[in-house]
């Protein structure tokens, strides 16, 4: 039997695709990751694209730091408060160290605010790259975010400590003066100093693991080299510029002048600010130069 064919059946239409269209569909999109050229070789556009990752790194470090603790974030307040009490008894009562005409408690606390922030950020930042070995070898993201996240954690602790300091100043009826308007600039310089040392020490610790033990010891010595428990005026005036080469010297003095309404030592602050900017740029340059080898060395 012959099959009935429909004579009214319309012929099928076929469309041709050009060679360019086939090439476009066939080839997948490839993202090439390559090092940038330049002195610092910072890709600010890339860092802006990954900005949310920096927030999550800071938030994760905050949760890990106070995880399974009884007091939680209260440790951010207890550390400077207990240090203030100990220093007040030892250096204020027994050693009779001058406090520039203000109660020694608020004098030493004004120095502990920037110092605790700086020491916490540098200590955590120096170990940040080594502690994030698993993250470094699995995904790509701006490596500079790892030590920078430590500054964010220390900044949260500083906010809690500053709230306690305002209460102590209210207790002593002592309020900041006009120089308090310089606090944001002083905080920015302190962040730059902590970031510079954090970038430098984190990159060096990847190669020389001895710095994991040397950094805490160095911070303890640095505390007494910096004018935290004593005023700079105790030193001879001819040698104060040498003390100002320590970036925390001028910054701590600036915080005290801003919080305690005292005259600003512009000479020490200027020298410490120049050293701070130089350390920040050098630490950033060294970190960017060595970060390509982090995955192999860790």
pLDDT in tens, 217-274: 999 999 999 999 999 888 888 888 888 999 999 999 999 999 998 889 899 999 999 9
- Whether 218 maps to a domain, the answer reads yes
pLDDT digits 0-9 by tens, 20-33: 444 444 455 555 54
Compute the average pLDDT of residues 34-55.
67
- Whether 13 maps to a domain, the answer reads no
- Whether 1 maps to a domain, the answer reads no
pLDDT digits 0-9 by tens, 97-117: 988 889 999 999 999 999 999
Q: How many domains does the chain have?
A: 1
The answer to whether residue 191 scores a pLDDT higher than 90 is: yes
- Whether 135 maps to a domain, the answer reads yes
Print the domain residue range for 238. 40-297
For the chain, what is the mean pLDDT? 81
pLDDT value, residue 15: 47
Query: Distance (Å, rounded) from C-alpha 80 to C-alpha 65?
Result: 17
For residue 140, the SS3 value is coil
Range list of β-strands (E), the chain: none
Q: Answer whether 279's CB lies under 8 Å from 251's CB.
A: no
The answer to whether residue 38 scores a pLDDT higher than 60 is: no
pLDDT value, residue 14: 44
The answer to whether residue 129 scores a pLDDT higher than 70 is: yes
Pick from 218, 151, 219: nearest CA to 187: 151
pLDDT value, residue 114: 95
- Whether 232 maps to a domain, the answer reads yes
- Whether 26 maps to a domain, the answer reads no
- Whether 30 maps to a domain, the answer reads no
Residue identified by tokens 């050693």 is: 95
- Whether 142 maps to a domain, the answer reads yes
Query: Distance (Å, rounded) from C-alpha 248 to C-alpha 243?
Result: 9
Count of beta carbons in the 10 Å neighbourhood of residue 191: 22
């Amino acid at each position: 039997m012959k099959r009935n064919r429909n004579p009214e059946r319309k012929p099928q239409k076929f469309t041709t695709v050009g060679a360019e269209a086939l090439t476009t569909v066939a080839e997948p999109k490839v993202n090439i990751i390559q090092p940038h050229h330049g002195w610092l070789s910072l890709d600010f556009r890339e860092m802006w694209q990954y900005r949310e990752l920096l927030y999550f790194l800071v938030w994760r470090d905050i949760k890990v730091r106070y995880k399974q603790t009884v007091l939680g974030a209260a440790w951010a307040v207890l550390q400077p408060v207990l240090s203030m009490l100990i220093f007040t008894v030892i250096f204020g009562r027994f050693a009779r160290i001058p406090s520039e005409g203000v109660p020694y408690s608020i004098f030493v606390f004004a120095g502990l605010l920037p110092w605790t922030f700086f020491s916490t950020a540098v200590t955590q930042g120096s170990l940040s790259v080594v502690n994030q070995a698993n993250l470094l070898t699995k995904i790509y993201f701006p490596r500079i975010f790892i030590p920078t996240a430590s500054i964010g954690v220390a900044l949260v602790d500083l906010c809690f400590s500053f709230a306690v300091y305002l209460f102590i100043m209210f207790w002593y009826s002592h309020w900041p003066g006009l120089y308090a308007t310089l606090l944001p600039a002083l905080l920015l310089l302190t962040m730059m100093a902590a970031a510079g040392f954090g970038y430098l020490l984190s990159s060096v610790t990847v190669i020389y693991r001895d710095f994991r033990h040397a950094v805490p010891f160095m911070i303890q010595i640095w505390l007494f080299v910096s004018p935290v428990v004593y005023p700079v005026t105790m030193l001879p005036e001819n040698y104060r510029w040498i003390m100002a080469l320590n970036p925390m010297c001028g910054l701590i003095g600036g915080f005290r002048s801003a919080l305690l309404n005292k005259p600003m030592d512009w000479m020490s602050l200027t020298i410490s600010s120049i050293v701070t900017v130089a350390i920040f740029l050098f630490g950033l340059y060294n970190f960017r130069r060595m970060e390509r080898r982090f995955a192999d060395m860790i």
